[in-house]
Structure formats: C-alpha cells, structure tokens
Chains A and B, each alone.
Chain A
C-alpha cells in the first residue's frame, strides 16, 4: 500500500507538524517503507495465534488507593514555558477536542 502526499499531510496535521515540500517527499518514502513492512507481516500465517496487545507476560498490575505527596506548585510549573500565578499559561484555545 502506497502512501500519498495527502496521507503525509494529514498525519503531519494530526501531529501538529509543519513540513516543507522536501520533507513531505522524504516522509512519503519512509512511511511507505514502514507500511510495506506491515504488508510483509500480513503474509505470515497467524492461525491459532491469539491477538496480542502486550508482550510482557503480566496482568493485573494494580496499586492500592493511597495518596502520595505531590510536587509543589513551583516544581510542577518549573518547566512551563509560561505561567500566570499558579496556572500554566498558553495561547487561547477555542475548540475542544475529545
């Protein structure tokens, strides 16, 4: 399955990336190769193999509902590019997704 330039543009947009025309061509090639690899995997016989989401043989790793100390507000905001009072501050967002 080939990747089109539109696919690249769509994926870039979802990832909030701005690509140059040159980069788009490069990613078209690179993503295409990844998809090709999946095509190769598809050829394997997986009859009798249960669908696997995790490769570690673990299940039900849980913790007790216990409150632990949090970061201080100063620590929490230490890496923020911008803040106002005790809030993170960002350009105004209008649409809410999700």
Chain B
C-alpha cells in the first residue's frame, strides 16, 4: 500500500531586535553565560515586563508578508510549566487571542513545477527560554539541601526573554520534502524582511512538526505524533522521513500509533520518545495580567491610523500597520518575476539568484556596472557561488565586491583577458581581495592578441606535430582541440583564443 504523510509545522523564529522582548537586556549571540540578564528576565519578584515595540513591528511585517490578518485585539498569556531554564515558572506567549491568523506561503514542487499553498493558522509573539546543558559525568550534590543525584544541569539565562515569533501551519504538507521546501521558503522570507537571521544551527530558526500517515486516497487522518529537536534543514527532512517510515511500519504490522512527543537524535539518526507524562501538556494558560491589550484599530488594518495608545493614558504612539506595509521590501517571488522580465534571464537563473536577498543584491549591483545580465548571471551562479561554497562564507563576507566583478568582465570583453584567465584572476581576487587590475599587473597576465606572436607559436606547434596535422587534413577534425591546447600551453594560457582559432584554421587549411 502507498502512504502519504500529513505534516504541520510549528516554526520559531528569533527576531533581530537589539534588546529582549520584555526588558532592555542585549540579545547578542555568544555572550558569556548569564551576562545578559536583569531582574525582569530572571523572573525576580515584583518586576514588570514591557513589550518591545520593534518586536511587534517585525512580527507584523511577517504577518503582512505572508498575507495574514493582524488581529484588531490580541493579548499575551502565561503558559505554565516547570523547567530550570524558565525562571518565572511560566512563559509569556499568546494563546487564544494571537497577533494574527491566516496567511500562506507558496512552495513549488520541483518535479512537477506545481505550485502549492501552505496555509498558516497563526503567527504569535512569545519569549524564549534559557539554555540548559545536561551532563551525566558530574554528580549533583548540594550540601545545603542534601540533594545528591547522578548528573547535573547547568543553566544560562541569556536567551531567556529573547523575542520569538511562532508560525503555525495547517497540516498542508504531504511529504517531508514539502516540509523542507516550506521551511526554506519561510527562511527566505524572514531573511528578505531582515527580521530573523534564519540560522538553524545557531537556533535562531527552530522547527517542530506534527506528523501522521495514511494510505493514499484515505480521507480519515491518522493519529499524529510531535517531532522535536530538529536543528538543521537536513535534520528536518531526515527526521520526518524516519518518523513517516516508523509509523508506516507500525500500521503495516497491525499496530497502533500512540500520540506522543518524539525527539530527533541527529547523531544516531533516530527518533526516541520524550519521557513525559500526560499532565505536562496541562499548561493552564491564562491572560498575562502584567501586559496590556495589543490593539490595532480597525482602520489601521485597512489603511489609516496605527497602533495607538489611549492618548489620555500614555504616550500617543505607535507603529502604523500601513507604514509597515509600505516599508515591506520586494519579496523573493516578486523579485524573481522582475529579474526574468527586467534582465531577460531564464527562470532558473532568476530563481537561484533570488534565493538569498544578499545574493540578489550582489547580482543587481554587478549588472548596474556591467549590463550583460546573462553573462553576470552565469558568473554569479557559477564562479561566485562556487567560491562562497568552497570558502564556507556568506555573500556579505565575500572579498570581491560586485563592482570589481563587473570590471573583471569588462576586461574579458576588451580582450585583455581570456575567459580562462579571468577565472583564475577571479579566484585570486576572492583569496586576496585585491582588484583585478592589481592582480593582472602583478602576474603579468595580459592576454596576447598580437597576431604575429601567436602565429609563430602556431607554426612551431604544427612543425612539431606533423602526424597530428596529417590526421586533421585527412578529416579528423577533432584534433583541432589538441592544437589549441598546445598553443595555450606554450603561451601559458595568455593567447587570445579567438585569434588562435582563426589563425590555426587558416594554417591548417592552407
């Protein structure tokens, strides 16, 4: 029997604010443990949280970018559970009145090129918890309380209170592949909006999944499980495939799927149930009394006005939904369409060039200085991406600015460099960050276009290889490439290939 999986995702994206969601602590990554805390995020008694305006703006940006509806009225809620990295004993989140509902993200199935909408249930704001490091090696002993047990947990509260948006999808995905396609698209949108770094390895983008399987053509849904701890795009696909196979195996052998939470183990590449009791899901949500209502007046959503506080009670603020809407950057889909039209490049090129905002910016900047858009596209997709991959760096860390690439390409056009030489110079530029002119000068890499000089090299090549010449003249035209290669060897690749081709043909046919 053939099965399909039904997958819904819960994605947590860390917002790129400077300070935490409810206090002024810095959120910079990689700080010393417990160096970025204050009474608010440590949950000390008597403190009051105050919502970060930028976090709200960023969240609204995302809602608008995916076509969701900003709720006119939303509130925060306390999600109660005990865990050492949650010092308050509750997480401030949103529950029954979230920031937004609806919206969708479109994915394209590579094989069929079919477009598919993944619908979103909601997007809401919440705070992150701290970070726990578990260890078996050290026994925990606390002399003052006489506690003794195997293993200890160390807690760093720096991440506590970092602003997140949780994006919840409907169970619209039908395969692990679709889930990763969706996740990639989501990451792309977050990056374009510049509201999240999208780095799964650093934990700024995290994903949990609800998975069930059913025989294709069956409409009734199977029992679902929740899969957590998938820390990379690869892990998501692997974990979901694993879980899908596991569920199919159980069903085929006549068993029953139990609704449970499972953890993906990236090292062992398997899934294990999380030890937890039924009661752990009893979060006893209730409205957070310390944070007031978040109101977007009805007119703001349709166009005018903004998030306003009651003037008589506080500062008249705040952000205007319409303003945010207008400030939305061109999103990946729109940019791709424009690239195809404006630069007359194939859809494949446009798709690849717009996967990352910074790469698309790089391309456009380069075309500005060197208008042969298809040639630039080839270079960016080929040489640039290869250099980035080999050096394991991002576009913003790349040492060759787009203007420099443009001037390199101009030198190919003017005949100063051959295509092959340009590629070598480019590698050198990526390595050293020097300009192409500087490298050409230092290496004496000027292309030989002097026909006399080339002619004499060709003559000597033909003289030294009479057998090959005979072969060519008897119709084996494939040896032509051999002659070109020999000429290039003798000139150390500096001979202008079109001049070489032309003279070679003349000489061989004479």
**Contact surface of A with B, Cβ cutoff 8 Å:** 10, 13-14, 16, 53-54, 56-73, 76-77, 79, 81-82, 84-98
Contact = CB atoms under 8 A, between A and B. Distances in A.
Interface in B275-291: 275-276, 279-280, 282-284, 287, 289, 291
Interface in B74-98: 75, 79-84, 86, 91, 97
8 contacts: A63-B51, A73-B35, A86-B156, A88-B157, A90-B152, A91-B151, A92-B140, A94-B275
Contact of A56 (B33, B39, B84, B292): B292
A68 B19 contact: yes
B84 A88 contact: yes
B142 A76 contact: no
Interface of chain A: mostly helix, strand, loop or mixed: loop
Contact of A90 (B33, B84, B310): B84
Given A89-B152, A96-B274, A62 B52 contact: yes
A67 B38 CA distance: 12
Nearest to A75: B37
Given A53-B287, A76-B37, A90 B294 contact: no
Given A58-B293, A65-B52, A70-B36, 4 more contacts: A54-B289, A60-B294, A65-B18, A94-B275
Interface string B32-49: 111111110010100000
Contact of A62 (B44, B50, B136, B145): B50
B25 interface: yes
A41 B292 CA distance: 24
What range describes how many residues of B lie at the interface? Answer: 35 or more
B56 interface: yes
Contacts of B154: 84-85, 87-89
Contacts of A10: 279, 282
Given A61-B309, A67-B19, A53 B293 contact: yes
A66 B19 contact: yes
B476 interface: no
A73 B282 contact: no
A98 B289 CA distance: 21
Contacts of B37: 70-71, 76
B334 interface: no
Which of A64, A68, A96 has most chain B Cβ within 10 Å? A96
A91 B153 contact: yes
A64 B294 contact: no
Interface stretch (B190-198, B311-319, B361-369, B456-464): B311-319
Contacts of A95: 274-276, 280
Interface stretch (B126-134, B321-329, B377-385): B126-134
A54 B292 contact: yes
A62 B317 contact: yes
A79 to B, nearest CB: 8
B79 A98 contact: yes
B5 interface: no
Contacts of A61: 50-51, 291-292, 309, 314
Given A71-B39, A86-B35, A96-B83, A60 B308 contact: yes
Interface of B: 17-19, 23-26, 32-39, 42, 44, 50-56, 75, 79-84, 86, 91, 97, 129, 132-136, 140, 142, 144-145, 147, 149-157, 274-276, 279-280, 282-284, 287, 289, 291-295, 307-310, 313-314, 317-318
Contact of B151 (A57, A92, A97): A92
A14 B38 contact: no
A53 B289 CA distance: 8
Contacts of A98: 79, 81, 83, 86, 91, 129, 280, 283
Contacts of A58: 292-293, 309-310, 313-314
A87 B33 CA distance: 6
Contact of B25 (A13, A59, A68, A81): A68
Tell me which of B291, B313, B318 has the highest count of chain A C-beta atoms within 10 A of its own C-beta.
Answer: B313
A51 to B, nearest CB: 9
Nearest to B295: A59
A70 B17 CA distance: 16
Given A58-B313, A60-B317, A62-B317, A87 B133 contact: yes
A87 B142 contact: no
B52 A70 contact: no
Nearest to A72: B35
B50 A92 contact: no
Given A73-B32, A76-B157, A92-B149, A66 B18 contact: yes
Nearest to A56: B292
Given A53-B293, A89-B152, A65 B55 contact: yes
B316 to A, nearest CB: 10
A92 B287 contact: no
A8 B316 CA distance: 47
A63 B53 contact: yes
Listed residue (B151, B155, B289, B295) with the most chain A CB atoms within 10 angstroms of its CB: B155
A-B CB proximity, top 8 nearest? A68-B24, A92-B151, A65-B54, A87-B154, A53-B287, A88-B155, A62-B53, A97-B280
Contacts of A84: 152, 154
B152 A70 contact: no
B309 A90 contact: no
Contact of B153 (A63, A72, A90): A90
A14 B19 CA distance: 32
Contacts of B32: 73, 86
Nearest to B90: A98
Nearest to B308: A60
